[in-house]
Amino acid sequence: MIEATDVRFSYASKIEALKGVTLTVKDGEFLAIMGQNGAGKSTFVKHFNGLLKPTSGKVIVDGVETTKTSVASLARNVGFVFQNPDHQLFSETVEEEIAFALKNFGFAADVIEKRVTWALELLSLAQYRKTSPFLLSGGERKRVALASVLAWNPQTLILDEPTIGQDHEQKEKLTQFILQMQAQGKTVVIVTHDVEFVAECNPRVVLMKEGKIVAEGMGKDILTNPQILAESSIVLPQIAQVFSKLSALGFPKNVIDIYEAEKIILNAVGSKQR
Amino acid sequence: MSVFDGLKFRKVYSPIHNLDPRVKFIYVISIFAVAIIFAQIIPLLFLFVLQVPFVLLARVQRQWLRSLRGAAFLAAVIFAVNVGSSFFYAGYKIAPPAVESALALTLRFVVLVESSSVFFLTTSPDHLGLALEESHVPYEFAFAFTTAVRFVPVLAEEAQTIMDAQKARGLELEKGGLMKRIRNYIPVLIPLIVSAIRRSLELAEAMESRAWGATKKRTNLYSLKLHKGDYALLAITIGILIAAVYIRLYVPIPTIVHLL
């Protein structure tokens, strides 16, 4: 469990990036943090594994205050996948890249071998085991970065902009993958701009603006509220836009799921035909 | 990244910022030269103090102090090496003159750092490029130079992100002995170098697609002109140079150990 209480944070440049953020992320929860550029999303999640320490307020991860421990020991339970894979890839082979963190955490050699194989297969990278990560495509590099974090099987997974540069198929896979993590009781926190992706997964949504949380609730309620979204320069998901226009005809407004939308429309068409 | 902060230009208006970059450059080179021809502490101390009014006039004292703090480690190494070598050379004893000369050599390094720091803090990369061009340096080189200077803060920021990403994967930079610590930086340096190369290729493509180098002869929107202040600085520089050469040749410089 991650508990942030009245977190304030200023960079060396004296700009206050977080102005009192309070949020609890429960175990097994799926949370999306959204908001425009410079809202403080990335700054905030960097507090979850101690990369940044609050200027005031506190962050408690599994009962331990982040200021009282090291990033390495927090990282064991909180995996953080950065936005740009090129900021972390450095090994000669994909295999070594994935083993890097496992070596840092002091896993035994045979365990490392097993974990690497497991992570490679999970993200369909097995054929690249001996390839240099620098020779892979952008989407593949992103998957290697993800695999290198998943390998040590952290309880909480933070993904910073996971959908950027991914094609539709990869996004689908990512959705599947997150749902799978969910089923295993893992906590997943994503930082994203991608409304369609969030609409598809329907997590709890936290909306940030200028270093503060401005709204939170289920995706279905937040992503269908044009006033709240406009404030954060986020456009409604396409399905929500359609239903918002149809609401004059008596359709419900808060629909973001394709299947739910289909059902409602079929029902309406069916009742007309009858 | 405090060392880089000491070299980062910020737009401020002050008499020092408005000086011609060429004249400032000549001044800095002259200070370098003077610092190198003296190995005694008194003239070096004088050179050190000489920069202070410039810093105060330019109102960059905070960044300037930061660059000095960044240089402190290297200065300490220089001092230790000099004292150490004289310690062994003189038969395992510390002689006060040896300490004084070690101190002087350290101060020489500090003078080099502080004067170049003042120069970079008060000269915009654009002005620098303009100065190079007007000194008939080929435009390609002038451009490469200004681009390099401009990308230093970008690179520093990127290094920070990479460090964060690797720390999140359990890398502990401050762990182990000296060799281990140096090796700890490999996972930071490789992504930094790779992304710098990648960025430079992208930059080259972006520039070429905007017709970089299409005309052989370029004109500039601004041209550099010497003003009263520039002539004054030039006069001061020449004065310092003449005085320094004269003192070096004809005036015996006492050491502090002698004076006491």
- Could you identify the residue written with the tokens 């090994």? A91
The mean pLDDT of chain A is 90
User: What average pLDDT does this structure show over B63-79?
Assistant: 88
Residue A205 has pLDDT above 80, yes or no: yes
Q: In the prediction, which pLDDT does B8 show?
A: 64
Distance CA B66, CA A174 (A): 45
- % of residues, chain A, pLDDT over 90: 58
User: What average pLDDT does this structure show over B36-53?
Assistant: 91
Burial classification of residue A1, based on how many CB atoms lie within 10 Å of its CB (0-12 exposed, 13-18 middle, 19 or more buried): middle
Domain ranges of chain A: 1-77+154-234, 88-153, 237-274
pLDDT digits (tens, 9 = 90+) for A107-118: 999 999 999 999
User: What average pLDDT does this structure show over A236-265?
Assistant: 87
User: What average pLDDT does this structure show over A238-258?
Assistant: 86
Residue B4 has pLDDT above 70, yes or no: no
Closest-CA residue of chain B to A78: B168
Taking the alpha carbons of A174, A177, A183, A189 in that order, is the dihedral positive or negative? negative
Distance from CA of B169 to the nearest CA of A (A): 5
Q: How far is CA A166 from CA A126, A171, B133, in A?
A: 19, 6, 44
Distance CA A119, CA A177 (A): 12
Give strand pairing partners of A23.
A4
Contact B172 A49 (CB under 8 A): no
Q: In the prediction, which pLDDT does A272 show?
A: 65
Q: In the prediction, which pLDDT does A94 show?
A: 96
Residue A19 has pLDDT above 50, yes or no: yes
Contact B172 A46 (CB under 8 A): no
Contact A72 B161 (CB under 8 A): no
User: What average pLDDT does this structure show over A201-205?
Assistant: 89
- Quick one: pLDDT band at residue B2, thresholds 50, 70, 90? very low
Q: In the prediction, which pLDDT does A274 show?
A: 54
Contact B191 A90 (CB under 8 A): yes
Contact between residue B150 and residue B125 where contact means Cβ atoms under 8 Å apart: yes
Q: In the prediction, which pLDDT does A252 show?
A: 86
Distance CA A205, CA A35 (A): 10
The mean pLDDT of chain B is 87
- Quick one: pLDDT band at residue B112, thresholds 50, 70, 90? very high
- Substitution target from A13, A69, A87 for chain B, most B beta carbons within 10 A: A87
Distance CA A215, CA A207 (A): 5
User: What average pLDDT does this structure show over A204-216?
Assistant: 93
Contact A86 B194 (CB under 8 A): yes
Higher pLDDT pick, B223 / B23: B23
Higher pLDDT pick, A91 / B133: A91
pLDDT digits (tens, 9 = 90+) for A28-57: 999 999 998 889 999 999 999 999 999 999
Identify which of B158, B161, B169 has the shortest CB distance to residue A100.
B169
Residue A89 contacts B, CB cutoff 8 Å: yes
Residue A148 contacts B, CB cutoff 8 Å: yes
Identify which of A80, A84, A90 has the shortest CB distance to residue B168.
A80
Contact B170 A75 (CB under 8 A): yes
Contact A75 B167 (CB under 8 A): yes
Residue B6 has pLDDT above 60, yes or no: no
Cα A29–chain centre separation? 11
Higher pLDDT pick, B125 / B158: B158
Residue B155 has pLDDT above 50, yes or no: yes
Residue B245 has pLDDT above 80, yes or no: yes
User: What average pLDDT does this structure show over A237-260?
Assistant: 86
Contact A82 B171 (CB under 8 A): no
Closest-CA residue of chain A to B195: A86
Predicted complex ipTM: 0.87
**Weakest mean pLDDT among A260-269, B180-189, B250-259:** B250-259
User: What average pLDDT does this structure show over B133-146?
Assistant: 86
Strands ordered across the beta sheet of A187-191: A78-81, A156-160, A187-191, A30-34, A204-209, A212-218
Q: In the prediction, which pLDDT does B45 show?
A: 92
Distance from CA of A151 to the nearest CA of B (A): 10
- Quick one: pLDDT band at residue A177, thresholds 50, 70, 90? confident
Closest-CA residue of chain A to B199: A86
Residue B210 has pLDDT above 70, yes or no: yes
Q: How far is CA A174 from CA A139, A169, A185, in A?
A: 12, 9, 17
| Residues 22-61 (A) with a CB less than 8 A from some CB of B | 46, 49, 51
User: What average pLDDT does this structure show over A133-162?
Assistant: 92
Q: In the prediction, which pLDDT does A47 show?
A: 95
- Quick one: pLDDT band at residue B173, thresholds 50, 70, 90? confident
Contact B169 A148 (CB under 8 A): yes
pLDDT digits (tens, 9 = 90+) for B77-111: 999 998 888 888 877 777 888 888 899 999 999 99
Domain ranges of chain B: 1-123+226-260, 137-221
Which residues, 6+ apart, have CB-to-CB distance to A82 below 8 Å?
A88, A145, A160, B161, B164, B165, B168
User: What average pLDDT does this structure show over B120-147?
Assistant: 85
Q: Which CATH superfamily is domain A1-77+154-234 in?
A: P-loop containing nucleotide triphosphate hydrolases (3.40.50.300)
Which residues, 6+ apart, have CB-to-CB distance to B22 below 8 Å?
B131, B134, B135, B224
Distance CA A77, CA A97 (A): 19
pLDDT digits (tens, 9 = 90+) for B9-38: 777 778 888 888 899 999 999 999 999 999
